[in-house]
Amino acid sequence: MNRGERAHKRVPPVTGQVYAPYPGGGRVTQLGLLHPQGLETFGFFRPGPVPVNESSRRPLLVLFHSYNGDGDLELELLTRFSNEADLRHWYILAPDQDTVSIGTPFRRKTYAGVDSQELLRITMNWVLENHPIDSQRIYGVGFSMGGGDLLGFAAQHLDPTKGAFAAVAPNAGTMCLTEEYWRNQSSRDALRAAVGAGAAPNASNRFGYERSSALLYEDPFGVSMLDLGAPQHILNLRPSTPVQAWYQAQEPSPQILTFVDDLELLLGPSTSGGAFERREQVGLPQTFPHSWDTYDYPAVCDWLATKTLTVPRTALVTVGRDARYWDLDVVRLDPSSWGQVRFDFSRTQVFGTTPEVRISDCDNIDSVRMNGAQYGLGLFGQTYEAVLQGNSNAPARFEIKGVPAPQAVFRNGFNVTQETNPRWSYNASTATLQLVSTLGVAETWRMQ
């Protein structure tokens, strides 16, 4: 828990606008959390009394507002999600992505810059700690800018203990912030402030724009194209976070339709109940071709309600922040650029075989750590193996927590238990085994 989170636990939320109650007893309130940077405001829907035959732990829907929007106003006045939440006894968090800074004027935050993503993470943690939320049923929706914000946030916040999304449903999302910068002049001031370190996209701040985007594009000869050579971190969602993309057939921005096509290219094909599903709305009023009401509110909530968080045992993750990605904690060598690592914990409980974990495809990785006790490694003195492939040009450390001290350690079949200047160590106070790979090829470690 960092300093900002500790401050939130000490200071009760500040209450602003309170809207009229719904028939089921639910109500939207504007709240604010104090933190060292100032006051972070958000809309919050609390459901009415839960029926006695249902679980007291309820789903949480996180709503990402549109450009220059406001979380509680859009939730209450522009959508019908609070009506659905009232019927279903769900909670809703609608972040404003703004800060009233101490000693300075009101400052709008947009486009899910890293600072606003961190404030949202802290706010989500406060909600999870203080309300009966089912952490396996956290869902996300977002419109226009908010649709892109939702996907970018979800792809980089995959800690199953701190609010990873079970499913997300963007509506007409804007995906690539570099693309948005050059095509939409009205967005430029906000983008320079929120993600570009005060500047237009350039070589020095490219990572800032990329990690706040959902898809990455290149623009050769004036034609925007999906950059298949870039780290498309939205692929982090493909193993286990379903995406349902909503849009109108009359959508006035052709690039938004292209974004949906490219989502399908990376996550698809579109199938009902699959990893990706596109939902085109036909016949809506021409006066509102780009609006929240592109959603069929009951239908999208029905779809979300069928989803429960699934933590994959194996995945390739693109790392834009030092954090937990599913069951793996990751720290990069260079925090100003992307990292990548593949983990495979699927062989830990295969009957008749030696338990094995694998770390591979490391790029810009300083260290990774897993909880070995969670997977039963070394239980009752059982032998287990770790296959580790480091970076091609730098060592990588693999830490396994919660395991007993090994009696013998082998690397590629050679006993290295008593090796001088060993590349393994064991910390008895934390029950952590550390292995170091100095090569870009796989090494097999065996602990007995």
Contact by Cβ (8 Å): 87, 8? no
Question: pLDDT band at residue 110, thresholds of 50, 70 and 90?
Answer: low
- The mean pLDDT value for 330-359 works out to 94
Tell me, yes or no, whether 155 and 177 share the same domain: yes
CA angle (319, 129, 328) in 5-degree steps: 25
Tell me, yes or no, whether 231 and 148 share the same domain: yes
Tell me, yes or no, whether 217 and 134 share the same domain: yes
Mind listing the pLDDT tens digit for each residue in 29-76? 999 887 776 778 899 999 999 998 899 999 999 999 998 788 999 999
Residue 100 reports pLDDT greater than 60: no
Tell me, yes or no, whether 230 and 360 share the same domain: no
- pLDDT given at position 11: 52
DSSP reduced 3-state for 125: helix
- DSSP letter, residue 380: G
Contact by Cβ (8 Å): 303, 84? no
Average pLDDT over the chain reads: 89
Tell me, yes or no, whether 364 and 271 share the same domain: no
- pLDDT given at position 111: 60
**Exposure letters 307-344 (e unless 16+ CB within 10 A, then b):** bebbebbebebbbbbebbbbbbbbbbbeeebbbbbebb
Given 259, 277, 305, the domain boundary residue is 305
Which strand (E) or helix (H) includes residue 324? strand 323-325
Question: ω before 269 within 30° of 0 (cis)?
Answer: yes
Task: Give the distance, in angstroms, between the CA of residue 33 and the centroid of all CA atoms in the same chain.
Answer: 21
- pLDDT given at position 303: 97
> Number of structural domains, the chain?
2
- Specify the residue for token string 């009205």: 186
Tell me, yes or no, whether 288 and 389 share the same domain: no
- DSSP letter, residue 220: G
Task: State what percent of residues in the chain have pLDDT above 70.
Answer: 92
Question: Which stretch of 42-56, 162-176, 217-231, 234-248 has the lowest confidence by average pLDDT?
Answer: 217-231
Tell me, yes or no, whether 232 and 330 share the same domain: no
Tell me, yes or no, whether 331 and 192 share the same domain: no
Question: pLDDT band at residue 10, thresholds of 50, 70 and 90?
Answer: very low
- Between 420 and 177, residue with greater pLDDT: 177
- Between 9 and 252, residue with greater pLDDT: 252
Q: What are residue 121's phi and psi, to 5 degrees?
A: -60, -45
Residue 7 reports pLDDT greater than 60: no
Q: Which residues lie across from 319 on neighbouring strands?
A: 339
Mind listing the pLDDT tens digit for each residue in 378-398? 988 899 999 999 998 889 999
- The mean pLDDT value for 191-198 works out to 85
Q: Which residues lie across from 41 on neighbouring strands?
A: 32
- Domain range enclosing 12: 3-305
- pLDDT given at position 430: 96
Mind listing the pLDDT tens digit for each residue in 427-443? 999 999 999 988 778 99
Question: pLDDT band at residue 352, thresholds of 50, 70 and 90?
Answer: confident
Given 305, 335, 360, the domain boundary residue is 305
pTM to 2 decimal places: 0.93
Tell me, yes or no, whether 175 and 40 share the same domain: yes
358 Cβ neighbours under 8 A, 6+ residues apart = 342, 343, 344, 345, 347, 386, 387, 388
- CATH number of the domain bearing residue 298: 3.40.50.1820
- pLDDT given at position 119: 84
CA 115, 120, 123, 124 dihedral sign is negative
Tell me, yes or no, whether 157 and 60 share the same domain: yes
Contact by Cβ (8 Å): 172, 247? yes
Contact by Cβ (8 Å): 195, 180? no
Tell me, yes or no, whether 73 and 196 share the same domain: yes
Q: In angstroms, rounded to a whole number, what is the distance separating the alpha carbons of residues 400 and 386? A: 10
Given 284, 305, 326, the domain boundary residue is 305
Tell me, yes or no, whether 95 and 234 share the same domain: yes
Mind listing the pLDDT tens digit for each residue in 265-298? 999 899 988 899 999 988 776 667 889 999 999 9
- DSSP letter, residue 405: P
